[in-house]
Structure 1
C-alpha cells in the first residue's frame, strides 16, 4: 500500500519500521524539524527522522501545516492510499486529512474515548486505570474524535510506569497498524459515554503536594517520569523523585518520618522516596543523599 508516515518521537519508530519491513511503499515521512539538543544545543533530528534516514526514506520537516497551501499540494501530489499518524506533533488541516483515498489513520495510545489528547499514557497511570491500550482510528478535525478501526487493551500491573507502558503501547500500535492495513476493518463510531481528556503536560504537573494521599503521589511519581519529572521544592531547589513507594505513617503533611530512605507524611499515609536527584547532580539513593544534604524535619507543601 502506498502511504505516508507522520510521527516524531520514539513511540512512533516501531510503527515506521514495521511498515517498511512489511513491504508497504512509504512515499514520504513527515516529522518535526531538527531542534537544539544537549549541552552544545546543536540541532538534532527527532527519532523518526533518524529512523527514516536509516531506512532510506524521504523525510519532510515542515514547521507548520495549517495555512501552508504549498505543503498541502505537495501532500496531495503523493497520491496516497492512506497516511499513518503517530504522535506527529502538528495538527493536520482538512486539506490533508481528506487527501489520501482511505484517509489519515492515527495510532492513539489509549482505549478511546478514554484519554483523548496529548498525554494518554501518563493519564492512565496517574488515575490508576486497570488497563490501557491502543486504538487505530480514522482522523477527523475533532481532537481524537474519529471512528475506530481496531483497538486492543493492555492490563496495567500495580506499579506500572510511563516508560513501561510507553514501550508496551508502541509495540502494540505497530502490530495493530499492520493488522488494520491488511484487514481494512469497518470504522465504528466512538461511544458517546466515557469521554475523558489528557491535556499536554507542563512542568508544574510533576510537583508533589504532600497534602494529597500517598497512593495518588505514588502514581504521580510513576506517571511523570521521565518528563516533566516528579519533584518537590526544598531550600530553593527542585529535587526530582525518581522512585518512591507508599509507606505507613501518620503526621502533618510534609513531615519527615523516621525510617529508611526519605519517608514523608502525606494527606493519608506516607511516601518513601528511595531515589532522588538534585539539580545538576547525579541520581542517588535517598539514604546516600541524606548523609550529605539536610532535609530537616519537614518538607514544604506548595502554596
Structure 2
C-alpha cells in the first residue's frame, strides 16, 4: 500500500517505524517545521523527521495545511492509497481528507469516544481511569469524531504516570496501526460509529492546571501529580516559593489539621489533604534540579505545622 505519514513528536515514531518494517511504501513524511530549541536556540528536527531521514524517506514541512495549494498539489500528484496521522499537530482540511482512496486514519491515544482532544493521556490519569488504549479511527472534519476501526487497551497501573503511559501507548499505537491496515487490505475492517453521548474532552494542558488544591482527596492530588509529568508538573507554594511535585503517594491519615498543613517533616514530607495525606517523594524548587525529598530537606527547612499554599 502507498502511504503518506503525518506526525511530529516521539509518540508518532513507533507508528512510522512499524509502517516501514511492514513493507508498505511510505512515499512521504509530513511533519511540523523545524523549531529553535534550548538556550542556544539551535534549530531542532522533530523526532519523526529524524526517523524519516534515517530511512531515506522524503520529508515535507508545510507551515500550514489550510488553503495551501502546494501541499494539496503534492498529495494529489502522489495519489496515496492511505494517509496515516499520528500526533501531527494540526487538523487536516477536508480537501486533504478526500485525496486517498482508503481515506485518512489517525492513531489516537485514548479509547474513544473518551478523551477526544489534545491531551488524552494526561487527562485519563488525572481523572483516575484504570485503563486506556489506542483507537485507530477514520478522520473527518470533527475533532476525533470519526468511525472507530480498531481499539487496543492497556491497564493504567498505580505506578504509572503520563510519561510511562505515553511510552506504552506509542508502542501499542504502532502495533494497532499495522493490525488495522492489514485488516483494511483484507476487507476485514468493520467501522463503528462513536457514541457521542459518551464522549469526553481532553483539552490542551495549561500551567495553571498544575496548582494543587489541598482541599481535595489525596488520591485526586496524586493523580494530578502523575498526570502532569513532564509538563506542566503539579505545584504548590511554600512561603511564596514554587515547589514542583514530581512524585507522591497516598498516606492514610485521619487528623483534623487544615488541608495543606505539613504533618511530618524529617527525612520525608507529608501534607494533609481534604481526605488522608500526600507523601511527597520527588520535589523541585525554583532554580534547582528535581530531587528526592530526602535530598531536598538536607538543604531546606520545612517544619511540621507549616502551611503549603495552593488553590
Normalising by the residue count of structure 2, what TM-score does the alignment of the two structures yield? 0.94
Structure 2 SS opposite 1:187: coil
The alpha carbon displacement at 1:72 in A equals: 1.5
Structure 2 SS opposite 1:51: helix
2:264 maps to 258
Higher mean displacement: 153-162 or 223-232? 153-162
Name the CA distance, whole Å, in 1 between partners of 2:108 and 2:21: 21
Instruction: Please point out which of 264, 286, 309 is paired with 1:300.
Output: 309
Asked whether 1:85 is paired with 2:85, we answer yes
Q: How does 1:158-237 map to 2 (within 5 A)?
A: 158-184=158-184, 185-237=189-241
Q: Deviations over 1:214-259 (max 9, x none)?
A: 1100001111011111111234432211111111333101101125
Asked whether 1:41 is paired with 2:38, we answer no
Q: Deviations over 1:151-175 (max 9, x none)?
A: 1111221232111111111111101
Q: How does 1:126-141 map to 2 (within 5 A)?
A: 126-141=126-141
Structure 2 SS opposite 1:280: coil
Name the CA distance, whole Å, in 2 between partners of 1:86 and 1:113: 17
Instruction: Please point out which of 251, 254, 271 is paired with 2:278.
Output: 271
Q: How does 1:106-145 map to 2 (within 5 A)?
A: 106-145=106-145
Instruction: Please point out which of 276, 284, 290 is paired with 2:297.
Output: 290
Provide the aligned length of Structure 1 versus Structure 2.
Answer: 302
Higher mean displacement: 62-71 or 3-12? 62-71
Structure 2 portions without partners, runs of 5+: none
The alpha carbon displacement at 1:102 in A equals: 0.8
Aligned alpha-carbon RMSD (Å) = 1.3
Structure 2 SS opposite 1:149: strand
> Residues 132 and 156 of structure 1 are in contact (CA less than 8 Å); yes or no, is this contact kept in structure 2?
yes
> Residues 253 and 301 of structure 1 are in contact (CA less than 8 Å); yes or no, is this contact kept in structure 2?
no
Name the CA distance, whole Å, in 1 between partners of 2:74 and 2:166: 32
Q: Deviations over 1:111-154 (max 9, x none)?
A: 11011111111111111112111110000000000001111111
Structure 2 SS opposite 1:258: strand
The alpha carbon displacement at 1:69 in A equals: 2.2
Name the CA distance, whole Å, in 2 between partners of 1:137 and 1:10: 20
Name the CA distance, whole Å, in 1 between partners of 2:101 and 2:287: 51
The alpha carbon displacement at 1:294 in A equals: 3.0
Name the CA distance, whole Å, in 2 between partners of 1:98 and 1:238: 49
2:245 maps to 241
